Structure 1
């Protein structure tokens, strides 16, 4: 029986094959909080046509003439509040690495599977990791975008980038992608267990749980992006699993950028209004984020906490994202083993 080592004729370049790669991909991170590091990261992110659907000449002027002159300082300040000083990196990078390492440990019964991780923007660049997997003999690669809810601005741009990388390869690996898992029972159960565990640590019971998802321009929804519907279904299934009435778990959208209308209700406005409505004890959960990052740790955990308490709220707590917890990695393993069938 021919093997990967002896099927090549004399003189053929040595090529490793027969392995299966799994690449976890998250949004991305700057390498540091200084102006130039933030500028490089923001320029790559905000230059993506999937992220900003504005006339290219007009957006080039806005981006380079205004945003990249002021935004790096503001973003760097926010990142500085939550930076992993010990490893000198953002929490998103620390957590994503942990997810990959722990997932690999759970797949030891599949010796031909190699797990790696990368970022859509910033480092480690996802296409560098795809190339590295191929060099290790992975002729089949499963891309795992860590976005539970699909959007063209997130999941689609990961796949765009992956196929851009394949364009430069003479011998391309076969490629699969994990579909959005917003309503996957394993995901809903992991979210529910994380909320229950967090509530058990509190000395008080919340008047309300707010499920906060990253926002999206309203025009993207109007064009047919399913993101809003995916978020609402995640929240509904989570509410049903926790056996909560609709008024006890509501949906809001955070991280609005620019002056255009985004999908509503806005998290900032909602949180500011809650104390006047009689909500004095608030818990927030972020079911659209696979890992804690600047949007969850700084925007919600610091910013929205200050807003709520300054408006008359008494108690506030944010549930950590699933991160690289045991229930999170078990959930990722369940999804991965299902999607890799037929290969492994």
Structure 2
């Protein structure tokens, strides 16, 4: 004899009566998982070292053979870099919550998305990081515990790269490999040319420029850099970045001299995508440009690369070279413009599941 205890959606999902002693059945919910790059748990040496070790051990991020790379990483980079990186994190750390801004903003994005999707009680929203905490696996586990048998994962990278989007998906799939009754999975594609994203960038940029007490002569769209060899191997990131800038330029009605693309955050001796952001602002200042602004269209949330590197180091380079006014335009973060992008793409990608 079977029982008549059904899950809340049994009438719609046709689960039917379950035999006595049957394992629990998921409730048929949809899980939305926001995934960002990651952050150390603290600014101390140990926390930063753990984060950097996980990050720089990813074979998609560092493609040097492990037999060559791991001794360099462990004997040299991880003995010195954590101190410098930790000091930089301390400059931008959210001391009130004792966490990095990236974690603060990503949590805000998830909470606001959950509120926006509250019109459908069958959707759960969680957030996780590719490196560090909360981990992707822990976020997936929370969704499964809520009865989600369908997962929409949203790598929060507008432009696709194997070093970002693919690594986020890799981590989710690794976690799924440990689950016997794995859920169905969809992943939000890169959204570098989505009209809702371009509109959000344009509206955010115009809104922040209107608040400045000066008008920039040049605006830079600074993207995270990538070794040039990655482009040569077929990574589409460079093309995605340039298209984002072109579409944003067209949306604003600006010319190629007013809005330009640059690339930041390079390290190591090999050539990276050019033009370099720091070298570009130095050149502009020496050519007589006195007022600039920089936005970061490749980052969905402000982090160490935008708050410390751009608004700190690059600002200093520009002013030291003769520039006079500098503005960093915040990322979309969990602003109304940013949330419109995330909500719109999620609602589109869950169609057919609702």
- 1: CA distance between counterparts of 2:327 and 2:7? 54
- Which runs of 4 or more aligned residues in structure 1 lie more than 6 Å from their structure 2 counterparts after TM superposition? none
Deviation at 1:75, TM superposition (A): 0.4
Counterpart position of 2:340: 330
Match of 2:118 in 1: 108
Of 26, 32, 51, 1:22 maps to 32
Shift of 1:2: 8.5
- Give the equivalent residue in structure 1 for 2:11: none
Equivalent runs, 1:58-73 vs 2, <5 Å: 58-73=68-83
Inter-partner Cα distance in structure 1 for 2:234 and 2:227:
12
2:153, 2:187 within 8 Å by CA — same for their partners in 1?
yes
* Residues 62-105 of structure 1: CA deviation (Å, up to 9, x unaligned): 10011000010010011000000000000000000000000111
Distance 1:179 1:93 in 2: 22
Q: Matches of 1:191 and 1:127 in 2, distance apart? A: 31
Which residue matches 2:7? 4
Correspondent of 1:77 among 87, 90, 105: 87
Determine if the alignment matches structure 1 residue 311 to structure 2 residue 318.
Answer: no
Mapped to 2, the partners of 1:108 and 1:130 lie a distance apart of 20
Query: What secondary structure is seen at the aligned counterpart in 2 of 1:115?
Result: strand
1:96 aligns with 2:118: no
- Find the partner of 1:45 among 48, 55, 66: 55
Displacement of 1:7 after TM fit?
3.6
Pairing partner for 1:142 from 139, 147, 152? 152
Q: Secondary structure at the match of 1:341?
A: coil
Q: Distance in 1 between matches of 2:60 and 2:338?
A: 28
Going from structure 1 to structure 2, the CA distance change for 1:175 and 1:313 (only over 3 Å counts) comes to same
Write the distance in 1 (CA, Å) between the matches of 2:47 and 2:77.
Answer: 15
Equivalent residue for 2:46, pick from 9, 14, 36: 36
The Cα shift of 1:4 comes to 2.7
Distance 2:339 2:160 in 1: 20
CA contact (8 A) 2:126 2:142 kept: no
Q: Count the aligned residue pairs.
A: 344
**Equivalent runs, 1:243-258 vs 2, <5 Å:** 243-258=253-268
Say whether residues 1:297 and 2:307 are aligned partners. Answer: yes
| Alpha-carbon distance in structure 1 between the residues aligned to 2:96 and 2:213 | 31
Give the Cα separation in 1 of the matches to 2:177 and 2:18: 24
2:12 is matched with which residue? none
Alpha-carbon distance in structure 1 between the residues aligned to 2:177 and 2:209: 48
Residue by residue, what CA displacement relative to the aligned partner does 1:222-245 show, whole Å, maximum 9, x if unpaired? 000000000000000000001101
Q: Distance in 2 between matches of 1:238 and 1:36?
A: 41
Distance 1:2 1:243, change over 3 A: farther
Distance 1:7 1:166 in 2: 28
Query: What is the CA-CA distance between 1:15 and the residue it aligns to?
Result: 3.0
State the alpha-carbon separation in 2 of the partners of residues 278 and 249 from structure 1.
17
1:128 Cα shift?
Answer: 1.2
**Residue of structure 1 equivalent to 2:286:** 276
Secondary structure of 1:265's match? coil
2:188 pairs with 1:185: no
Render the CA deviation track for 1:156-180: whole Å, top value 9, x for unaligned. Answer: 0111111111111110000000000
CA contact (8 A) 2:41 2:133 kept: yes
Structure 1, unmatched stretches of 5+, are none
State the Cα distance separating 1:135 from its structure 2 match: 1.3
Q: TM-score, normalised by structure 2?
A: 0.96
Q: Deviation at 1:16?
A: 2.7
Q: CA RMSD in A?
A: 1.1
- SS of 2:164 mapped into structure 1: helix
Aligned mates of 1:109, 1:162 — CA distance in 2:
27
